[in-house]
Amino acid sequence: MTNLSKDFKSKISTLARISSLTIEKVQESSDGTKKILFKLEDGNFIESVLIREKNHWTLCISTQAGCQMGCKFCLTGRYGFKRDLLPSEIVDQITISRFNMPEGNNIKNIVMMGMGEPLANYKNTIKAINIITTNSGLEFSKRKITVSTCGIVPMIEQLGRDTVVNLAVSLNAANNETRNYLMPINRMYPIEKLIDACRAYPMPKRRRITFEYILIEGVNDSPEDAENLARLMRGVLCKFNLIPFNEFPESQFRTPSDERIDAFRKILIKHKYTAVIRKSKGRDILAACGQLRGAEKGHS
Ligand code: SF4
């Protein structure tokens, strides 16, 4: 900015800095899903995923480079934790995608479901949400923003006090024993506490909490698991996204058969829940749920 005086520039540099992410690579899946690999200023990598809906696109963004939560079924967790993203780095995934991707103008929903646990980077996540939703920022309606968590109970309560956005919870089990095994966070905040926090969460009007349930063969996919889940959720305004586990190289888990997945869903429907089977998009480019790892060749 050559039109600014030296003094003014040096004053600004003490107050603020301008930075940006760079797009390192874009991969397109056979189903149209696009995975964008961003390089951060410090050389770390993160990923965002553009998901095609009927008439618009949803952008799934990251809140951390890597993740510390160690969920057993998740590739991101396996690659360890690098650092929290700054508010600007969270927001920039949207602005850069808007300006550089052909579908950028048609991004209507934002889901914080990419790399990392948003509520483990709470301060920066909430700042980013404010920038994304304010009129002097990106002007998204709060109803179009979804925060997905593995279940950090006190921060779910805090989120409910600080803003009104959609909540998604990665549940994946209907009892503590299985959830402890799959998701270490459950040892700190067991299912009963998590469900209580969900009951108290102030969802936007006419919205329901989404519970993500990754179906893993022989681990959490039995008819008994489905019955337990239905019982556990009694009285919670919610819907279920049933996600058949996405196998990846070296994964210890398997995808259940279509019959077993369907039987699980039918039990939830019988108990009057909305349950949708989400065949993950972008599987062929490792852009599906739990498959982001923010790695470029030669990096990890
Ligand atoms: S599922 Fe989410 S919270 Fe769990 S390790 Fe993966 S990125 Fe982290």
Neighbours of 241 (CB within 10 A): 18
* Cα–Cα dist 241/220, whole Å: 14
Q: Which one of 47, 71, 211 would you pick to mutate in the ligand 1 pocket, going by the greatest count of ligand atoms within 8 A of its CB? A: 71
- Of the pLDDT bands very low, low, confident and very high (cuts 50, 70, 90), residue 297 is very low
Q: Minimal CA–CA distance to 289: which of 218, 226, 214?
A: 214
- Residue 142 falls within a domain, yes or no? yes
Contact 62, 292 (CB under 8 A): yes
- Of the pLDDT bands very low, low, confident and very high (cuts 50, 70, 90), residue 296 is low
* 191 Cβ below 6 A of ligand 1: no
- Of the pLDDT bands very low, low, confident and very high (cuts 50, 70, 90), residue 299 is very low
Residues 6+ apart with CB under 8 A from 258: none
Q: What is the mean pLDDT of residues 185-213?
A: 94
- Residue 300 falls within a domain, yes or no? no
Burial class (CB in 10 A: 0-12, 13-18, 19+), 160: middle
CA atoms within 13 A on the CB side of 120: 21
150 CA closest ligand 1 atom index: 3
- Pairing relationship of beta strands 57-60 and 45-52 according to DSSP bridges: antiparallel
Helix (H) or strand (E) holding 81: strand 81-84
- Structural tokens at position 80: 């360890």
Q: Which one of 67, 183, 216 would you pick to mutate in the ligand 1 pocket, going by the greatest count of ligand atoms within 8 A of its CB? A: 67
- Structural tokens at position 232: 């556990």
CA dihedral over 97, 103, 106, 108, signed as positive or negative: negative
Residues carrying an active site annotation: 47, 289
Percent of the chain at pLDDT > 90 equals 78
Contact 46, 40 (CB under 8 A): yes
Q: pLDDT value at position 206?
A: 85
DSSP 24: E
* 77 Cβ below 6 A of ligand 1: yes
Q: Return the residue matching tokens 């700054």.
A: 86
If DSSP codes are grouped into helix, strand and coil, which group holds residue 10?
helix
Number of domains forming the structure of the chain: 1
- Residue 298 falls within a domain, yes or no? no
Burial class (CB in 10 A: 0-12, 13-18, 19+), 145: buried
Q: Say whether pLDDT at 284 is over 90.
A: no
pLDDT digit string (tens) for 62-118? Answer: 999 999 999 999 888 787 899 999 999 999 999 999 999 999 999 999 999 999 999
* 150 Cβ below 6 A of ligand 1: yes
- Residue 9 falls within a domain, yes or no? no
* 168 Cβ below 6 A of ligand 1: no
Could you tell me the distance, in angstroms and rounded to a whole number, from the CA of residue 89 to the centre of ligand 1?
Answer: 19
Q: Say whether pLDDT at 282 is over 70.
A: no
Q: Say whether pLDDT at 289 is over 80.
A: no
* 74 Cβ below 6 A of ligand 1: yes
- Residue 290 falls within a domain, yes or no? no
* Cα–Cα dist 117/68, whole Å: 8
* 67 Cβ below 6 A of ligand 1: yes
Nearest protein CA to atom 7 of ligand 1, as residue: 116
Looking up residue 117, the CATH number of its domain turns out to be 3.20.20.70
* 66 Cβ below 6 A of ligand 1: no
Q: What is the mean pLDDT of residues 159-174?
A: 96
- Pairing relationship of beta strands 238-244 and 274-277 according to DSSP bridges: parallel
Could you tell me the distance, in angstroms and rounded to a whole number, from the CA of residue 15 to the centre of ligand 1?
Answer: 34
Could you tell me the distance, in angstroms and rounded to a whole number, from the CA of residue 86 to the centre of ligand 1?
Answer: 18
- Residue 294 falls within a domain, yes or no? no
Alpha helices in the chain (DSSP H): 6-15, 75-78, 87-100, 122-133, 153-162, 176-182, 185-188, 191-200, 223-232, 258-270
pLDDT digit string (tens) for 32-72? Answer: 899 999 999 999 999 999 999 999 999 999 999 999 999 99
Contact 120, 68 (CB under 8 A): yes
Q: For residue 246, what are the domain limits? A: 19-285
- Residue 95 falls within a domain, yes or no? yes
pLDDT digit string (tens) for 229-279? Answer: 999 999 899 999 999 998 887 889 999 999 999 999 999 999 999 999 987
Buried/exposed 164-178: b ≥16 CB within 10 Å, e otherwise: bbbbbbbbbbbbeeb
Could you tell me the distance, in angstroms and rounded to a whole number, from the CA of residue 77 to the centre of ligand 1?
Answer: 6
Q: pLDDT value at position 204?
A: 81
Annotate 232-299 with DSSP letters as a single string: HTTT--EEEEEEE----TT-S--PPPHHHHHHHHHHHHHTT-EEEE-PPS-GGGT-STT------TT-
- Residue 181 falls within a domain, yes or no? yes
